[in-house]
Structure 1
């Protein structure tokens, strides 16, 4: 049995945390979507035979990575027996193996595998999050569930804004969910809105969140320019068919890391094909 990254926190504990840790704690306690609550908890009760000795997380999965990350990866992540089991984004499933393997190859992760929340994996300059924090049935959240979860992503973007310079968005769903979140967090979207494609690159200019505009000039620092990179999702459907190869993923991550100003770092082993 593996201990999840944190258990339920009291209101007093929440106020003692830094803002991003507080956000993560609040996300983990969210019960806004009845269908997702019922599904994630049922999966944790029934379990998969291979994980019968695990105590499933069975709650919303918060983001993973440092608060001063200059690169963000956004993609639908909490799989029923992956993040919903382990309590960490893209951890414990094959999609995570692909993502963290590539992050390690380009020097952004301390290791190539993510198997549990206490496996010692750390990220360098990058944070991983999702537009929907609960595992949905058939990996398909409804538009209403996506929209209900958006305020969490908006707040995460606001907290990351002082350092954030580049974002890799995995899949069309993530792209469609991320764009309005960026707009609400204070970035200006081009018109017409850019469409998702693997290799898409869009720069969002500096803007002012509504709260900053209401407070007047000089009240706060608006977020800086951010460059979004589109990338096919690391789903098994894409990786097994070759639609997304490790090399393709590495190329996008490497370009985004360069844009984010993360110095190159080469791991001591040969890259995967």
Structure 2
């Protein structure tokens, strides 16, 4: 099995966090009326995108009735509607719609993931849950490292969770750690061999871009507009050398 596919399968079988296991399964039993005929995924949601991605988009965690229902990151909820439409308009996704795991959607040059792979109550993972899930993100970064050149991090939680993962995966994060802000940009250089995680393979520089999360709270209030989102994604795609869409 391809290493990334093997990782995704392992993620989907994780049961390390009792509170998250109980919550994701409870949501699947109770369901939302609009999705009463759905069989919920109700497991950890792995990353989505090709193994040769040079751009990584990092969110927070799957939505209870989005990824936790469909089994794919940012799929089946309004946050995903905003994200994938922006990616489509930039030529980075094959469709502006992301409704189910078998809808044929493909990503071009990028992968979408999160630091927590289970839907948490009130969209708020605990620090322990975040840290328990970190090895999955670290391993994903290690597998992408030879080609990875940029990352868009959605929201302060994702930013704070991703920086230690980048360190563990073989990059040097400046001290003091860069603070999150929309439009923040920082380039991480390869760490010295003594600082890299065991087995981490020589990553090159990677540029991180901060972006407000595509949550309904941000998009409905105008704190994050489609143009703001596309500006960040466009810059990150350019840094990742993803050719312009023809």
Residue 211 of structure 1: which of 198, 201, 223 is its match?
198
1:240 aligns to what?
220
* Structure 1 segments (4+ residues) deviating >6 Å: none
TM-fit CA distance, 1:221: 4.3
Larger radius of gyration: 1
CA distance in 2, matches of 1:166, 1:103: 15
CA distance in 2, matches of 1:93, 1:76: 14
TM-fit CA distance, 1:77: 3.5
1:120 aligns to what?
104
1:188 to 2:172 alignment: yes
Task: Name the count of aligned residue pairs.
Answer: 243
Residue 235 of structure 2: which of 246, 251, 255 is its match?
255
What is the SS of the residue equivalent to 1:228?
strand
What stretches of structure 2 of length at least 5 have no aligned partner?
Answer: none
1:64 to 2:44 alignment: no
TM-fit CA distance, 1:210: 3.4
1:201-221 Cα offsets, whole Å, 9 max, x none, are: 000001232325xxxxxxx84
- TM-score between the two structures when normalised by the length of structure 2: 0.97
What stretches of structure 1 of length at least 5 have no aligned partner?
Answer: 1-16, 213-219, 267-273
1:147 to 2:131 alignment: yes
After the TM superposition, which residues 16-27 of structure 1 pair with which residues of structure 2 at under 5 Å, given as runs? Answer: 17-27=1-11
Q: More deviation in 257-266 or 60-69?
A: 257-266
What is the SS of the residue equivalent to 2:198?
helix
CA distance in 1, matches of 2:66, 2:197: 37
After the TM superposition, which residues 46-195 of structure 1 pair with which residues of structure 2 at under 5 Å, given as runs? Answer: 46-195=30-179
CA distance in 2, matches of 1:61, 1:78: 7
Question: Kindly tell me: are residues 47 and 221 of structure 1, through their superposed partners in 2, closer, same or farther at Cα, counting changes over 3 Å?
Answer: closer
Question: Kindly tell me: are residues 51 and 227 of structure 1, through their superposed partners in 2, closer, same or farther at Cα, counting changes over 3 Å?
Answer: same
- TM-score between the two structures when normalised by the length of structure 1: 0.88
